Structure 1
Amino acid sequence: MAAPGGARRQPLLLLLLAGLLHGASAVFTVKDGNGTACIMANFSAAFSTNYNTKSGSKNVSFDLPPNAEVLNSSSCGKENASDPTLMIAFGRGHTLTLNFTRNATRYSVHMMSFVYNLADTEIFPNASSKETKTVESITDIMADINKKYRCVSSNQIHMNNVTVTFHDATIQAYLSNNSFSKEGKTLTLPLMLLV
């Protein structure tokens, strides 16, 4: 005979596991001309958006694939002239860009942008347009200089009709020792349960 409430526990457990499963994380590194790392990021990301087809609007969700690559147009920035930029490319013409900025005590992902190509039929089957779209947003990703940003829960960034969800993210810019700092504040956002 099943324990009282046992029937409720199994769907709850499945719900918890569904929230924890996501694409594999990857490490993205930007180096200067001397081969010294200035940006490191380790995360997995999921994208969700909608697009038009001949039969109406369709919702789509997809993960940042493990073969995503840091583009050569990423940069460590130039003192007082430009800020560091991490550009990640994947699929058929999609790019995720994190633009960093800093002041005397903190750095942040000042602007995040996502470029997606509706001509990619693997992700956007039967799209009525084949254009490339760009969305962007200011983020709340920030940390003290010489410390890493760490968020073990999901962190959503909303950019018009696109939502990017970072999972288990560690990000640091303006690196001083060619690797993630040992120090950093870990953020754990509350886990929402549907009972």
Structure 2
Amino acid sequence: MCMLVEACHSDIQCKVATQKELIIRAGDQTFCGSEISTEPTLYFCFADIFDQSMAEQEVENLSGLSTNPDKDIFVVRENGTTCLMAEFAAKFIVPYDVRASNYIDLITEQTDIQLPRRAEAKGKCGKNESELQISWLNAYVFRLFFVKEGNNATRGQDGFWKMNKVQFIYDSSERTYFKDAVNAGKHTASTHHLSALVTPAGRFYECQAQQTLTLISSDPQKAVTLLLSDMRLQPFDIKTDFFFNEEYKCPVDQREQLEEILPLVLGLILGLAIVLTIAIYHVHQKLTASQVQIPRDRSQYKHMG
């Protein structure tokens, strides 16, 4: 094994960060960086290839900009350009076992874990796969996975993206949220065969309504409940730095919006119908009043004219 910080050759520069290994091969021999000869040698640098294939990515936690104290904002940037944006409020409801008052039986308690504002975040952006990872207190890790599927003309489907997996790693020995947990330790809760937040390609998902996901835990017979609300998500195809594209409202919000608008529309239609009825009545009255009254008694005809 050969560990070094930087190695250079006359025509090729290999910038290697600390803790990365540089392996140089010439023929059937393997050399460490310190053994590089000044003689012209046919070689290649694995670290350089690795650095070129992995785009530079950074994640910014902008939760402090939100007026909602429970809402978090994360931005993943690749080579200075935004590639993933996420805004949401998240809460986990986690069951765990404790001893009963007789110190023999076990009873199940539950704790509510709110995603904190000062959480650390990492992200990965790809053409068809993206990921956001959030961690805090060295005990909790929240991971969201997204995939994008292309157009399928044969099935009449347009391109879309979705969230295909959610994972939550938690340590029940951590004392902030767990009190006297039995068999405390790290557990992983994950969704299975998830297809959520399905959104047309090139648009961001928006949903104010609360949505519930169930995550199956490695802690036997336990399921973690994830509550997501006030969401705005776009893991692919962001056109402008720090700005979402066109929105796509979730079906729940669309239905609630329709329920709010429908009474107003019906009231407007009813009001117009009443006004129209009154107008027709007044027009009819004027037309009736202006008509000449024809006597019904024929004996009065001789007095006419």
> How does the TM-score come out when normalised to structure 1?
0.77
1:76 corresponds in structure 2 to 125
For 1:39 and 1:153, locate their aligned partners in 2 and report how far apart those are by CA, in whole Å: 22
For residues 162 and 168 of structure 2, the distance between their equivalents in structure 1, rounded to whole angstroms, comes to 17
**CA drift at 1:139:** 4.1
Q: Does 1:114 pair with 2:168? A: yes
Whole-Å separation in 2 of the counterparts to 1:187 and 1:152? 11
The letter of the residue matching 1:121 is: R
Q: How far apart, CA to CA, are the structure 2 residues paired with 1:38 and 1:95?
A: 21
SS in 2 for 1:123: coil
On the 8 A contact 1:87/1:97 being kept in 2, the answer is yes
Q: Kindly indicate whether the alpha-carbon contact (under 8 Å) linking 1:43 and 1:169 is maintained by their aligned counterparts in 2.
A: yes
The answer to whether the Cα contact below 8 Å between 2:206 and 2:247 also exists between their aligned partners in 1 is: no
Partner of 1:184: 248
Q: What amino acid does structure 1 have at the position aligned with 2:237?
A: L
Counterparts of residues 25-174 of structure 1 (less than 5 Å): 25-32=71-78, 34-55=79-100, 56-71=107-122, 74-77=123-126, 79=127, 83-104=129-150, 105-137=159-191, 138-160=194-216, 161-174=223-236
Deviation at 1:91, TM superposition (A): 2.9
Is 1:117–1:132's contact at 8 Å kept on the other side of the alignment? yes
User: Could you say what secondary structure the match of 2:166 adopts?
Assistant: strand
The sequence identity of aligned pairs, in percent, is 23
**2:119–2:134 CA contact under 8 A, matched in 1:** yes
Structure showing the higher strand proportion among its residues: 1
* Matched-pair contact (CA < 8 Å) for 1:150–1:187: no
Aligned to 1:13: none
Separation in structure 2 between the aligned mates of residue 146 and residue 67 of structure 1, nearest angstrom: 29
Give deviations 1:81-128, integer Å, cap 9, x for gaps: xx2110011233211111111111101111111111112111111112
Q: For the structure 1 residues 48 and 23, does the alpha-carbon distance in structure 2 shift closer, same or farther, using more than 3 Å as the test?
A: farther
Gaps of 5+ in 1: 1-21
Residues 84/154 of structure 1: CA separation in 2 closer, same or farther (3 Å cut)? same
Please tell me whether the aligned partners of residues 88 and 231 of structure 2 are also in contact (alpha carbons under 8 angstroms).
yes
Task: Deviation per CA, 1:21-64: give whole Å up to 9, x if none.
Answer: x85201111222x0222111101111102101233221111211
Q: Which has the larger radius of gyration?
A: 2
Deviation at 1:67, TM superposition (A): 1.3
**Length, aligned pairs only:** 164
Cα distance in 2 between the residues matched to 1:46 and 1:171: 17
Matched letter for residue 204 of structure 2:
K
2:184, 2:251 → 1: CA distance? 39
Q: Which structure's relative contact order is higher, taking Cα pairs within 8 Å and 6+ residues apart?
A: 1
Q: In structure 1, what residue type is equivalent to 2:201?
A: I
Deviation, 1:183, is: 3.0
Whole-angstrom CA distance in 1 between matches of 2:195 and 2:99: 34
Aligned to 2:36: none
Q: Distance in 1 between matches of 2:110 and 2:69?
A: 19
Q: Deviations over 1:154-182 (max 9, x none)?
A: 01111121011011111111133232113
